[in-house]
Each structure stands twice: as structure tokens, then as C-alpha cells.
Amino acid sequence: MASLQAHFVAFMVRQQVKRRLRGATTVGQIKAVFEGLTLPAPRGVRFREDSLGGVPGEWAESDEDGARPPATLLYLHGGGFVACSALTHRPITGWFALHGFRVFAPNYRLAPEHPFPAAIEDAAAAWHALLKEPGVLPGPVVVAGDSAGGNLALAMMLALRDEGAALPGAAALFSPATDLTGSGSSVQSNAKRDAMFIAENLLPLGEAYLGTTDPRTPLASPLFADLAGLPPLLIHVGEREMLRDDSVRLAEQARQAGVTVDLDVWPVVHHVWQIAHGTVPEARRSLQAAATFLHRAGPIPRPTTPGSALPVT
């Protein structure tokens, strides 16, 4: 049974976010809505600006004294490919920093100014540089992302696999957008139940990111990719989300490809509810499950110098 807090926050998101998105007809207006949702970061976390592989971003690290946490996390923020940043997602990166991870969140390039595959290139560049950071290896190095960031985490891993580079030991995906064709049945069946989105918002976001790229391109819509060889995946999504079937179908495809998948579909909660962990107990449970899952990842080998499997633009 869902908590009263989950019901309340979903109601507030519907009232304060979905209503604003309903009147947002351009990418700029949608971006303004997304970036106006910033919540406070957890206490006890130090945020430090840095750049990895030429990609700006920030580290989130616990203020507690002692040895460096045993695991390193690359976190890719959501925002429909057009909005948000490491700053807007500090509630999530800060939570992971307090639970045994040293976290780097890159500010990858955003659409429409930088369409596909710019964000994937930035994620891969940050990943390669992360593995060269002092003290990162041989400990576990993992990746996580929400919404568009979940898409980018999958696309990055597919690109790394195809170029023969070292992959993350595991990945946690929160409500990932895996199908930019919008073919999942939940896009229609959950249109009224989704606390945040309406179909009219999703189309311009995909178009802004894709540019002239076919939405069925595997690195743009990982649902249509060969998923064989990916590391273990944890996927959490809300049962009422329009993007629910992006997660459910991805889990099915990945399992058929021999990938270990831990899928959990949560009742009532809104899109990327993990960001509301200060209020919603389901958010804390989801993040704790993800942390436990990611901490189980084994060390990865030191990488060799890879080529590039990304499409040339």
C-alpha cells in the first residue's frame, strides 16, 4: 500500500507541475518548468565543481571524515534532454554521497542547441576520465540516471560495449525514457493518471533531442538496441507513469538478452519520485534499494584506450 505522503506529493505535483506543463507549448517553457522544481540538497554533503574529460560537473562527497567511500558513481541527471543540471539533482546525488558513494554528476550538453548524440558523447567522455581519477580503481564504479538521464546511461553503456571499453559494474535507472517513438501503451493508458506529464510535452522534448535522427536509432531509444553484454540493471518506475512501459519493456528485452534485471513498479508515486526523499518514504526505500544493488557490483578492470562507437555528426 502506498504511503499517505506518496499520495499527497503526487497530488501536489499534479497541481503545481502538471498544470504549468499543460500551458507550456515550447521547449523553452518546458525547460523553465523543470528548472523551477529545485529542492534543497541533503545536509552533510560537500559539492565541488570539477571537469572530467572536458565535461563540467560537480562531485558530491560526504563531509564525514575517514577513508574514501569504496564505490564511485557517475550520475546522469534527467530533464527531458533539454533542462536541469547537477545542481537541480543534488537531492539525489547528495543522498548517494551520504550512503557510501563518491558521486560525479556531469553537466552534459543539452538540446536543442546540442542534439543527439552530444549528451552521450559527454557521458562517455566523463566516464573514461572518471576511470583515470586517482583512487577510483580498483573499487566498484557504477552508473545511475533518471528519466532522460536513464536513457543516457543506457546509451553510454551500449556505446562503451561496442567500442570494447570497460563497463560500469551495475546501473540503477529511475523512470528511464527508453523509447522516443512513444509506442508504449502506457503513454495513452496513463495519460490522465500520470501526475506530471501530458503527451503534448513529451513530443517536443524528443524532437528537440533527436533533431534529424530516427527515433528508432538504438542509441537514441535503447529499447530497440541489442542489450546483450550490459551489466546488471535495477529499474524503478511508477505504475501510473506515462513512461511505465519504457521500463517494463526494457526489462523484458534485457532479460531476453541475458542481462540480470531487478525491476520494481511502484504504486501511486510520481515521475522520478526519488528526488522527494525528504518527504516520501517510497523515495527513501527506492534509493536504499538502489544503493544496496550498486554496492554489490564488483571491481571493474582498468580500461584500455578505446575507439569511438558513437555516430559522427
User: Could you tell me the CA-to-CA distances from 205 to 161, 269, 272 in Å, in that order?
Assistant: 27, 22, 17
> What is the percentage of the chain residues whose pLDDT exceeds 70?
94
Q: Which one from 89, 236, 271, 277 is the annotated catalytic residue?
A: 271
Tell me what the pLDDT averaged over the chain comes to. 93
- Across the range 14-34, mean pLDDT stands at 90
Q: Which of 58, 61, 241, 282 is catalytic?
A: 241
Tell me phi and psi for residue 195, to 5 degrees.
Answer: -75, -15
Give the list of residues 6+ apart from residue 300 with CB closer than 8 angstroms, or none.
Answer: 131, 137, 138, 140, 141, 166, 167, 168, 169
What's the sign of the alpha-carbon dihedral 236, 241, 247, 249?
Answer: positive
Task: Find, among 182, 202, 173, the residue nearest to 261 by Cα.
Answer: 173
* Banded model confidence at residue 307, pLDDT cuts 50, 70, 90: very low
pLDDT, average across residues 5-20: 95
282: annotated active-site residue: no
Reply yes or no on whether the pLDDT at 312 is more than 70: no
Residue 263 DSSP SS3: strand
Confidence of residue 68 (pLDDT cuts 50, 70, 90): low
pLDDT above 80 for 56: yes
Query: Stretch 16-23: mean pLDDT, rounded?
Result: 90
Q: Residue 106 in contact with residue 126, Cβ under 8 Å? A: yes
Spatial distance between the Cα atoms of 135 and 162, rounded to a whole number of angstroms: 26
Q: Please report how the helices 90-97 and 281-295 are oriented relative to each other, as an axis angle in degrees rounded to 10.
A: 50
Higher pLDDT, 313 or 37: 37
Catalytic residue among 62, 147, 186, 247: 147
- Buried b / exposed e over 101-118, threshold 16 CB at 10 Å, is bbbbbbbbebbbebbbbb
Least confident of 74-88, 175-189, 276-290, 292-306: 292-306
Cis peptide before 204 (omega within 30 of 0): no
Q: What is the pLDDT of residues 200-236, one digit of tens each?
A: 878 889 999 999 999 999 999 999 999 999 999 999 9
Mean per-residue pLDDT for 160-184?
97
**4-295 — its CATH code?**
3.40.50.1820
Cell of 268: 501511486
Residue 69's pLDDT is 67
Establish whether 89 is a catalytic residue.
no
Alpha-carbon span 287 to 92, nearest angstrom: 8
| 304 Cβ contact partners less than 8 Å away, ≥ 6 residues apart | 164, 165
What is the structure's pLDDT at 1?
Answer: 86
Q: With a cut of 70, say whether residue 313 has pLDDT above it.
A: no
Residue tagged 519493456 (cell numbers): 249
CB burial string 265-296: b at 16+ within 10 A, e below: bbebbbbbbbbbbeebebbebbbeebbebbbe
Q: What is the dihedral of CA 9, 263, 104, 215, to 10 degrees?
A: -90
Spatial separation of the C-alpha atoms in residues 107 and 111, rounded to whole Å: 12
CA nearest to 179, candidates 207, 208, 221, 150: 221
Neighbours of 138 (CB within 10 A): 11
Q: Which residue has the higher pLDDT, 306 or 43?
A: 43
> How is the chain split into domains, by residue range?
4-295
Give pLDDT, residue 305. 43
Mean pLDDT of 158-176: 97
pLDDT of 197 > 70? The answer is yes
Give the CA distances from residue 283 to residues 159, 265, 277, in Å, rounded to whole numbers and listed in that order. Answer: 30, 13, 5
Is 189 one of the catalytic residues? no
Does position 303 have pLDDT exceeding 50, yes or no? no
Q: Per mean pLDDT, which range of 10-19, 21-30, 245-254 is the poorest?
A: 21-30
Residue that the C-alpha cell 544493488 belongs to: 293
